[in-house]
Amino acid sequence: MSLHLADRATPSPAMAAVKPEIIVEGITHSYQTGRGPVLALKDIDLSIAPGRFVGLVGPSGCGKSSLLMMMAGLTRPSEGRVIVRDAPVTSPAPDRIGVVFQESSLLPWRTALENVAFPLKLRGVPRAEREAKAEQLLHLVGLKGFENRHPHELSGGMKQRVAIARGFCQDPPVLLMDEPFAALDEQTRMTLGDELLRIWDQHRKTVVFVTHGLTEAVYLCDEVVVLSGRPGEVLARIEIDLPRPRTWEMMATEHFGRLRERIWSLIRTQS
């Protein structure tokens, strides 16, 4: 299945000289169901340069979330491996890889501050130190003053800000985000998208961002990896050559529209 778009395995020429931050090598994954094995992912090879904001899109059920879970070390692929910064990923490595999930990943019985400090608590960092750092991070995501609120007192957008702050807590070079804004309304999504870009700009992490939203993908990312329907294969890697910092006016440009259309036409053929 060859397309004239960027060759799946090699990164774009400008990046070839730099050592990749994330390498996904030959991942093929199948799982058992009552009716026999199902092939979920096939021959996924990706190489992501440091500091890139990469989107991962595809039709529903194409395995993009599963792929992300493998990158996070939460699932083992049937075949293949993930390498982050020269070290293979076999189990969660929160100091190297931060993960932000959809809503509801905050401990409901802890305050926002305690939730952000949670990873540090697991590392045994003393209370004063970790809460100071957590306070800093909450300030960074714009939640100053909400430290002692419990999740049920926070809106969906605020909860995700807390989740993002937590993701930054151990300052991992890689940040994996699994449809973090999916459960939010569109306005909040756009605001948080800008927030995320602002923070990302200050601490250039390598981000892999799974989403269903094509507009979101084009707006936020440096490049978008399109997966096919099950079994998920890399269909294309589309470079988003919009200038940074991104602005909402760009969404109205023809270029933006064409990029979106390219992605959509690829996905559309998959269903």
Partner 1 sequence: MSAATSLPSAGGARISPIALRWLCLAVLLVLWEIAPRAGWVHGVILATPSATLMGGLAEWDLFAAALAFTFGEIVVSLAIAYGIGGTLGLLIGLSPFGRRAALPLLSSFYALPLVVIYPVMTAWFGIGPASKVWFASLYGVFPVILATAAGVQLVDTRLILMARAQGARIWPMMTEVIVPAALPAVISGLRVGGALVTVGVVVAEMLASTDGIGFLITQNRTMFRTPQVYFGILVVLVLAGTLDTLISRLERRASRWRPRQDDSHE
What does the binding site for partner 1 look like in residue numbers (CB under 8 A)? 72, 74, 91-95, 99, 101-102, 104-105, 107-110, 118-119, 121-123, 150, 152
101 token code pair = 């999930």
What b/e sequence results for 62-72 when a residue is b if at least 16 CB atoms lie within 10 Å of its CB, and e otherwise?
bbbbbbbbbbb
Which of residues 183 and 190 has its CB atom nearest to partner 1 in the complex? 183
The CB-of-243 to partner 1 minimum distance in angstroms stands at 33
Which of residues 42 and 159 has its CB atom nearest to partner 1 in the complex? 159
100 token code pair = 């932000």
Single-letter amino acid code for the residue at 71: M
The CB-of-7 to partner 1 minimum distance in angstroms stands at 32
With beta carbons less than 8 A apart as the criterion, state whether 120 and 130 touch. Answer: yes
Which of residues 74 and 242 has its CB atom nearest to partner 1 in the complex? 74
The residues with which 239 forms a beta bridge, in sequence order, are 223
The CB-of-201 to partner 1 minimum distance in angstroms stands at 24
Which of residues 3 and 107 has its CB atom nearest to partner 1 in the complex? 107
Distance CA(136)–CA(128), nearest Å, equals: 12
Residue 17: how many other CB atoms lie within 10 Å: 8
The CB-of-111 to partner 1 minimum distance in angstroms stands at 9
Which of residues 101 and 200 has its CB atom nearest to partner 1 in the complex? 101
The CB-of-261 to partner 1 minimum distance in angstroms stands at 34
The CB-of-132 to partner 1 minimum distance in angstroms stands at 19
* Cis? peptide before 94, omega within 30° of 0: no
Residue 260: how many other CB atoms lie within 10 Å: 18
Which of residues 160 and 228 has its CB atom nearest to partner 1 in the complex? 160
The residues with which 88 forms a beta bridge, in sequence order, are 83
Distance CA(44)–CA(8), nearest Å, equals: 9
